A and B are shown apart, each in its own frame.
Chain A
Amino acid sequence: MTEALGEFEQLVMLAVMRLGATAYGVSIRREIYETTGRNVSAGAVYTTLGRLEKRGLVESRPGETIPERTGKRRKYYRLLPSGASTLHKSYSNVQAMACGIIDDLAHLAGKTVGGEN
C-alpha cells in the first residue's frame, strides 16, 4: 500500500534526509524555513512526522536534553527504507510529469498572474 505523499510531507521528509543524524523539531523547522522560506509551525511538523511514523515511513527516538530546553528531551527522526522509497517514488512521479514543461509552466504562471479575476 503506497499512498501518495502530500507536498508538506515530502518537504518534511526531505528535510529529515538532509539533516541526517541531527533531524529533530527545531532543526527541521529551520531547514524548511532556510531552504524554502516557509515558516511552518512546530505543531504541524510534529503531527506530520507522527502520521509518517504510523505509516512506517520514518522512525523516531527520544534523545538528550540541553539546558535551553529546560529539561525537555529532543525527539530525533530518521527516514526508514520504505519511507525513502515512497518519497523517491512520489518525487520521481512529480519530476516525470514536470519534465520538459517547467519552462512553459513558469512562462504561463508569469502571464496569468496579472490576468486573474
Chain B
Amino acid sequence: MVTQETDDLVFHKTCDLLKPYNKKNIALTMDTDIATELEIDSVAILDLIMEIEDIYGISIPMNLMADIRTIGNLVRAIHDLGGNK
C-alpha cells in the first residue's frame, strides 16, 4: 500500500536540499521566503526544483513558480502534484 509522506517529512527533505544555499545559516521554517531570505537567484531556484522533481518523480510546471515564494508554498505544490508518496 502506498503511503503518503507527511508534509512535515517533505518539509525536512526540502530543507536538506536548501542547506547548500543557506549561506547565512538562517532558521528555515514553512514561512521562509526562498528568493529573498536565502538570496537564491532565479536560475538556481529552477535547479533546486529539478532536484525535488527527481526525488518525487513529478514535474512542477514553471507556471507555478510565481506562486511559490516560501518553503511552505513549495511543500504544498509537491503535495498537490501527488509527489509526497
Partners in one complex: no
Could you list which residues of chain B lie within 8 angstroms of chain A, going by C-beta atoms? none
Could you list which residues of chain A lie within 8 angstroms of chain B, going by C-beta atoms? none
